[in-house]
Amino acid sequence: METIKIGLKHLLPGQVVSSVTFDSPKSFPNSPSDVKHFLIGAKVLLVKRRAKVLLIELSSKYSLAIHLKMTGQLVFINHMTKSKSKLKTIKTTERFGAGHPNNSLIGKLPDKSTRVNIRFESGANLYFNDQRKFGWMKLLPTAEIPNTDFFKKLGPEPLATSFTASDFADRMNKRPNTSIKAALLDQSVIAGVGNIYSDESLWGAKIHPATLVRKLSASKLETLFHELQYVLKLSINKGGSTDKNYLDAQGRRGSYLRFARVFRRDGKPCPRCGVIIIKIRIAGRGTHICPHCQKEPRT
DNA sequence: CACTTGACCTGTCCGC
DNA sequence: TGCGGACAGGTCAAGT
């Protein structure tokens, strides 16, 4: 989501919404009246992110809040005409934003998983596609967003400059009797960490994901904190973790998973010791570990 | 209260 | 090829 934000923040501000189409209230719960009053005619001011939610601030004092969940995509298509281009030869369609893993989507949206289509006066479109309908896009008063249930319970951003290793340990220690993996995935402890980065950071810190938080020493937690920051920064630099559905902000696939050391690498050798990586189930999630580097905790 | 499990959806993959 | 079941990057509600 951070890579999507990085791309869209250079593309959306200044765009004025001209029309919107949407289907089910599950993907877009607002009424046509909300759309008419707070979205149509509004200009995009800012693009931000909090946890896994993208925020598009509008001149109407409302914002679009977007959560992609497992299979959501945001695809920005700027339909440009040859007549408007004097400086260079350009493609008739340029696509930006997060979206489909290959270029076959160009010119083919909307499709059957398109939940919302926002059209701008410039002729550009922002498509919200979501195969599984877990994700959502909602129009909310900008000032109210921090007071929503979802935002109120979020923990700190792991890459915030003010967030230290001891802050991290303090947060984790609020969940002493759960597995470290469940604690990492709990958005009220730390915001924004999902299954990929929890597995990757635990491998980096040589911690078995089933280890109870209270069994971890302060120095282990500090190592985990640094490994978590490392994998998050690396992934942002590589354009995110595109696998099936996500694209990075410039319309390219993110490449982080090529650098992943355990995630979806079961059956392959651990890059540190060569022992075959296995996949297990922890905290109800598929979990990838090196059984040699990440020893099972004694109970 | 802390913690875990199932449900929400659709598509794909794997074994029979 | 067809069919059934398990599984998928996240979050809730309901359960223990």
The answer to whether the beta carbon of residue A250 comes closer than 7 angstroms to any atom of strand B is no
Mean predicted confidence (pLDDT) in A153-180: 97
Q: Residues A112-144: pLDDT tens digits?
A: 999 999 999 999 999 999 999 999 999 999 999
* Spatial distance between the Cα atoms of A293 and A299, rounded to a whole number of angstroms: 18
Q: What is the reported pLDDT for A211? A: 98
Q: Which of A184, A262, A274, A284 is nearest to A225 (CA)?
A: A184
CATH topology of domain A2-152: N-terminal domain of MutM-like DNA repair proteins (3.20.190)
Best CATH choice for the domain A165-289 from the list 2.40.50.100, 3.40.50.450, 2.40.110.10, 1.10.8.50 = 1.10.8.50
Nucleotide nearest to A199 (CA to C1'): C9
Residue nearest to nucleotide B3 (CA to C1'): A178
The answer to whether the beta carbon of residue A194 comes closer than 7 angstroms to any atom of strand C is yes
- Tokens representing A295 are 């020893």
pLDDT higher than 60, residue A94? no
Q: Are A110 and A117 in contact (CB under 8 A)?
A: yes
Q: What is the reported pLDDT for A108? A: 79
Q: Which nucleotides of B are covered by protein (CB under 7 A)?
A: 2-11
pLDDT higher than 80, residue A97? no
Q: What is the reported pLDDT for A80? A: 62
**pLDDT band for position A42 (50/70/90)?**
very high
The DSSP symbol for A214 reads G
pLDDT higher than 60, residue A32? yes
Q: How far is the CA of A51 from the C1' of B13 (A)?
A: 31
Domain boundaries, chain A: 2-152, 165-289
Q: Which of A229, A223, A226, A231 is nearest to A196 (CA)?
A: A231
Q: Residues A203-223: pLDDT tens digits?
A: 999 999 999 999 999 999 999
Q: Give the Cβ contact number of residue A95 at 10 Å.
A: 23
Alpha helices in chain A (DSSP H): 2-8, 32-38, 149-152, 165-172, 180-185, 195-204, 218-237, 256-259
Integer-rounded Cα radius of gyration of chain A: 21
The answer to whether the beta carbon of residue A12 comes closer than 7 angstroms to any atom of strand B is no
